[in-house]
Amino acid sequence: MKQALVDDTEDVSLDFGNEEELAFRKAKIRHPVATFFHLFFRVSAIVTYVGCDWFSKSFVGCFVTVLLLLSFDFWSVKNVTGRLMVGLRWWNQIDEDGKSHWIFEARKVSPDMVAATEAEARVFWLGLIICPMIWIVFFFSSLFSLKLKWLALVIAGISLQAANLYGYVLCKMGGESDVSKITASFLSQTVFQTACPSDFQKPGLEGLEIHKH
């Protein structure tokens, strides 16, 4: 009887490593500077656009300021924050024959390296999706209110931010170019990630999956 009790207790082991790693991925922001600038330029562009009539009466000054913020946002999101926060990157290269190729990269999951945290991934995708939708609202409001002079700026905002969104969705979907398949797959993965966050693995920091178009 005593021997059975000893054997039972010997088989018991407690391992809190997975729980600690899960808590780390949920709460920790590993790149606070990148996370800040991921939202700073695009939110600043929206705030400046909305408050142009209050801050300044110069249309040219407001136009140039918002356009610069949009340009800074496009560059930083495309070249820095996507790579650091979610391990994705897209870019264009021209080969020796002069042909243009779009390349979509996704870092593979590595058990030896710390994956992107859920907090960073959530901030990245929410900022990437919500801001273009806001610019679309600005487009219709400018069109219906006959503020046609702002349409060029609003179209620039939609184009720059939608380009980053489209590029990163292609990275996440493995370079698939069919828009309907991209939308269905991306939505299904988003719903699955929300319902079962502990079972969803994000890109790690080692290795690259490269897809060319």
Question: Regarding predicted confidence, which is higher, 159 or 149?
Answer: 159
| pLDDT surpasses 70 at 81 | yes
| pLDDT surpasses 80 at 17 | no
Residue 94's SS3 state is strand
Give the per-residue pLDDT at 213.
Answer: 57
**CA nearest neighbour of 165 among 132, 209, 210:** 132
Calpha distance 183→178 (Å, rounded): 9
Q: Give per-residue pLDDT as tens, 170-184.
A: 998 875 555 445 555
Domain boundary assignment for the chain: 24-192
| pLDDT surpasses 90 at 40 | yes
HSE, side-chain direction, 13 A CA sphere, residue 2:
0
| pLDDT surpasses 90 at 82 | yes
Q: What are phi and psi of 101, to 5 degrees?
A: -125, 130
- Residues 72, 77, 79, 83: what is their CA dihedral angle, to the nearest 10 degrees? 160
Question: Regarding predicted confidence, which is higher, 116 or 108?
Answer: 108
| pLDDT surpasses 90 at 7 | no
| pLDDT surpasses 90 at 160 | yes
